[in-house]
Amino acid sequence: MSDILTKENVEKSINNRNFVEKLAKGKNLPLGFDEFRVNVCELANGEYNYNFKISVLFVYNNSSQISEDAVLRINYGSQMHLSKQIEYEYRSLELLKNTGVTPVPIFFDDTKTLLRKDYLVMEFVNGTQMSYSEDMKLAANVLAKIHSEKIPENNHLIKPSNLISSMIDECKTMYNKYKNSEFFDVNIDKKVSKLFEKCEMLEKNEIENIGNSSKKTDFLDKANDFNDKCMINTELNSSNFLVDGDLCFLVDWEKPILGEKEQDLGHFLAPTTSFWKTDVVLNKKEIDAFLRDYLTYLNNNTGNNNIENNNELEVLKEKVNKYIILNCLRGLTWCAMAWVEYNSEDKAILNEFTYNKLKQYLDYSFLDQVLDICGLNDI
């Protein structure tokens, strides 16, 4: 834990004119201020980042004052194994700044001259965590805006050549850390193995619909077309959606890639996602209602209004169902890996909530509930 920068460390370091001028320039504020005052308070932290709200008061010679808030995000590692993680996040947010539903990036610094860690400064967004019972329409609108944003073909985003294979490979990498650890449980393994088998079957039969339907689709053919891809977040926990009245923002952009919108939707709706920050597991009626709202918003953004005529909603549901299963595997294998890390002395950031939630996810009863939802408990 000695590697972690405290609030006091951060406040002392950024009470620095060079830092404050970068912030002023990024916010298009006058640079001729005579004095400044910086206040820092802690925000929620993730597994690889610490976040702080910084409030800066600019004082000018005519006695006028301007107060600005921002978020300082300090990086301690990369789930994507990137050498320039914080730059990747900055550039991703730059591509989304016109959506109006993501924080606007201000600047990043990977020189380690001011702080000994790479950091990103971005717009502070007001709001409280979304509610699955009250805010699903807002979340659907946010995702539709992000998924309909045009991304330049020449971009920095990671582009998996085969989304299903890349997800399964990621899951195997994470799960092997658990399988090779002293915490391995053969009963947990039996349940997780059922998900692996189902997902590997989906990988093998990429053009088949979920549920052994005889109807064929060209899903994966379309997935190889740049025009059918968009930036996806891949980590759509409810705590990453901040709601302020009629406004809603998606704030955590640690692991975006260029992929299929259905992967994001499958992650958002999967029980392994909704249960993380709440005790909610969405039912079929709630999932169908969300997808209908999402598709309406998406079509409004893209000018396509043929939802009823071309059976687009049913196609979307089928593909999202596939990704729900894949994301259940991804969520559980991440938890298995994280369980090993949380019981290791090498883990830099420890979170009591995460530790307790990991125990719930690896409990036999929750694993059985996930298998039921995926239609796999009779196998």
Q: What is the CATH number of the domain that holds 102?
A: 3.30.200.20
131 is a domain residue: no
CATH number at residue 192: 3.90.1200.10
On whether the CB atoms of residues 342 and 358 are closer than 8 A, the answer is yes
How many helices (H) and strands (E) would you count in the chain? 13, 10
> Is the per-residue pLDDT at 231 higher than 70?
yes
Q: Are residues 140 and 120 in the same domain?
A: no
CA–CA separation, 252 and 303 (whole Å): 28
Hey, what are 42's tokens? 């802690």
CB-hemisphere CA count at 13 Å for 351?
Answer: 13
Assigned domain for 60 exists: yes
Q: What is the pLDDT of residues 63-100, one digit of tens each?
A: 899 999 999 999 999 989 999 999 999 999 999 999 99
- 169 and 306 both lie in a single domain: yes
Evaluate whether residue 333 is within a structural domain. yes
Beta bridge partners of 42: 52
**Structural domain contains residue 229:** yes
Measured from the Cβ of residue 280, the count of other Cβ atoms closer than 10 Å reads: 16
Predicted pLDDT of residue 348: 62
Does residue 222 have a pLDDT over 90?
no
Percent of the chain at pLDDT exceeding 90: 79
Has residue 217 got a pLDDT over 80?
Answer: no
Same domain, 120 and 25: yes
**Residue 69 placed within a domain:** yes
Mean of pLDDT over the chain: 90
- CA–CA distance, 43 with 1 (Å, rounded to integer): 18
Give yes or no: residues 110 and 162 share one domain.
Answer: no
- Joined together, the tokens standing for residue 311 give 């059976």
Please say which residue of 124, 154, 172 terminates a domain. 124
Is 185 found in the same domain as 64?
Answer: no
Tell me: do 87 and 152 sit in the same domain. Answer: no
Cβ contact 256:234 at 8 Å: yes
Q: What token pair was written down for 300?
A: 């409004």
- CA gap 250, 248 in Å, rounded: 7
Together in a domain, 18 and 114:
yes
Contact 250, 100 (CB under 8 A): no
Which helix (H) or strand (E) segment is 75 a member of? strand 65-75
Closest CA to 48 of 80, 93, 70: 80
Q: Pick from 76, 96, 124: which residue ends a domain? A: 124
Q: What's the angle, vertex CA 274, arms to CA 185 and CA 319, rounded to 5?
A: 95
pTM comes to: 0.86
Within a domain: residue 176? yes
The answer to whether residue 2 sits within a structural domain is no
User: Do 98 and 157 belong to one domain?
Assistant: no
Q: Are residues 19 and 39 in the same domain?
A: yes
Contacts of 86 (CB under 8 A, 6+ apart): 73, 75, 108, 110, 118, 119, 120
Indicate the burial class of 262 (C-beta count within 10 angstroms; 0-12, 13-18, 19 or more): buried
> Are residues 89 and 66 located together in one domain of the fold?
yes
Residue 171 belongs to domain spanning:
136-373
Domain count, the chain: 2
Domain boundary among 82, 97, 124: 124
| 311 part of a folded domain | yes
**Distance (Å, rounded) from C-alpha 157 to C-alpha 153?**
10
Which residue shows structure tokens 């997808």? 291
The pLDDT confidence band at residue 352, using thresholds 50, 70 and 90, is confident
In this structure, the answer to whether residues 174 and 287 fall within a common structural domain is yes
Residues 324 and 296 grouped into a single domain: yes
The answer to whether 43 and 71 are in contact (CB under 8 A) is yes
DSSP letter at 268 equals H
